[in-house]
Amino acid sequence: MKIYNHIDEFRDVKNPIVTIGTFDGVHLGHQKIFELMKINAEKYDGETVVITFYPHPRLVLHSDSKDLKFINTQKRKVELLELAGVDHLIIVNFTREFSRLNSATFIREYLVDKIKTKKLIIGYDHHFGKNRLGDFSTLYDLGHKHGFEVEKLAAQNVENIAISSTKIRRALNEGKIKIANALLGYDYSITGTVVRGQKIGRTIGFPTANIELEDEYKLVTANGVYACKVAHDGKIYKGMGNIGLRPTVMHSELTIEVNIFDFDKEIYDESITIYFIDRIRDEIKFDNLAGLRNQLQLDKITVLGILK
């Protein structure tokens, strides 16, 4: 996949099949768009082009953006787009000035003059341009005017749930990890650097790797204990993750930690990725560490049953 950090870097490609969006999650609905793009690229002997925006428009346009969280980091989103088989990725620097472009100007300057779009494919709920006033009818009219086709993909469903980034974020905020994973089409994950913790876990036989997030805007799923898989140095391990305040030891800050099964290496300052498979329970405050240890022993049996 070729990546362009400015529209002026883009060079002509044959019969571009284009889509536009923020693609938070690169979920199953997005993946259906990419599949349809590849079918059309083959039909027209063309190449696929994705236009996305960074920073996320809401971070630029809303004063309360500090509370916004996204399913994937920008780095992970780019990785997922490449895995989806996209040929070209244009990352537009989203600024307040850019946000003032109206729909017609954006289409003319980007899709027509720069990219020379053959066909544009969008999701069922796509809006764009100043104040998000551009919609499918706008695109259809402008496509007819400038000589490119426009196709809208219908809403995609999983078990009668229409797939959207908003619904996935809601599921994650509620700890409904299996629903989120089903809508994503892959396992939700968190990547971070292993940092030093209080080392209480190792005193009760459950040492944990505590991680620090690589992106402050990464959405962290709800507090609780999870069945996980952990990627480190090219290998995948089973594990038991905890997100929360660790009430038994009176911890006051949110902690993301994982007990990696059958693993005894020191990995401070190294990167790991935790894949969340299922949520098994809420955080519980125990009277003492012995009570916590007994519960963790039971939790491990549950997790192994889920991951087998």
Rounded to two decimals, what is the model's pTM? 0.91
pLDDT at 160 > cutoff 90: no
- Residue 122 CA to residue 24 CA, distance in Å, equals 15
* Average pLDDT score over residue span 20-49: 96
Give the separation between CA 216 and CA 73, rounded to whole angstroms: 9
Q: What domains, with CATH codes, occur in the chain?
A: 2-161 (3.40.50.620), 188-307 (2.40.30.30)
Average predicted confidence (pLDDT) for the chain: 91
pLDDT band at residue 255 using 50, 70 and 90 as cut-offs: very high
CA nearest to 150, candidates 122, 174, 173? 122
pLDDT (mean) for 39-63: 93
Q: Between 252 and 265, where is the model more confident? A: 265
**pLDDT, tens digit (0-9, with 9 covering 90-100), for 167-220:** 999 999 999 999 999 999 999 999 999 998 877 888 898 999 999 998 999 999
Sign of CA dihedral 237, 216, 162, 107: negative
pLDDT over 60 (residue 27): yes
Give the pLDDT confidence score for residue 199 in this predicted structure.
Answer: 79
Give per-residue pLDDT as tens, 281-305: 999 888 889 999 999 999 999 999 9
Cβ(180)–Cβ(166) under 8 Å? no
Residue 132: is its pLDDT beyond 60?
Answer: no
Please tell me the distance from the alpha carbon of residue 227 to that of residue 225, in angstroms, as a whole number. Answer: 7
CA dist., res. 284 & res. 244, Å (int): 10
Phi (first) and psi of residue 148, to 5 degrees: -125, 155
**Ordered DSSP codes for 223-291:** SEEEEEEEEETTEEEEEEEEEE--GGGT--S-EEEEEETT-----TT-EEEEEEEEEEE-----SSHHH
Q: Residue 10 is which amino acid?
A: F
What integer is the mean pLDDT of 27-38? 96
